[in-house]
Amino acid sequence: MKWYNYLACFLAGAFLIHIVPHVLNGMSAVNVIGVLVSLGGGCLMLWAGKFSFRNPWAVVLLLLGIVSVLIFGALHHH
């Protein structure tokens, strides 16, 4: 795989983790739109990254994308 496929897997993790706060905050119009944008962007990045569970680097980068957003959120909590 090319480097940009791995970057897309990383960004997919960053998009997909953003679904959680929108789901936990209830079903307002803003949260529904947030879930749709995050889910659509995450799925698009998974497709662009040619994600497969058989590729260990793609899985690791997906998890690193998730962890990076969680760490950033913990350090910059508002």
Domain residues for the domain of 12 are 3-75
* Confidence at 77, pLDDT banded by 50, 70, 90: confident
* Confidence at 1, pLDDT banded by 50, 70, 90: confident
What per-residue confidence (pLDDT) applies to 70? 94
What per-residue confidence (pLDDT) applies to 13? 97
How many structural domains does the chain have?
Answer: 1
**In this structure, how many other beta carbons lie within 10 angstroms of the beta carbon of residue 69?**
17
What per-residue confidence (pLDDT) applies to 58? 96
Chain mean position to CA 67:
10
Residue 5, C-beta contacts closer than 8 angstroms, at least 6 positions apart:
48, 49, 50, 58
Q: What is the pLDDT of residues 12-53, one digit of tens each?
A: 999 999 999 999 998 899 999 999 999 999 999 999 999 999
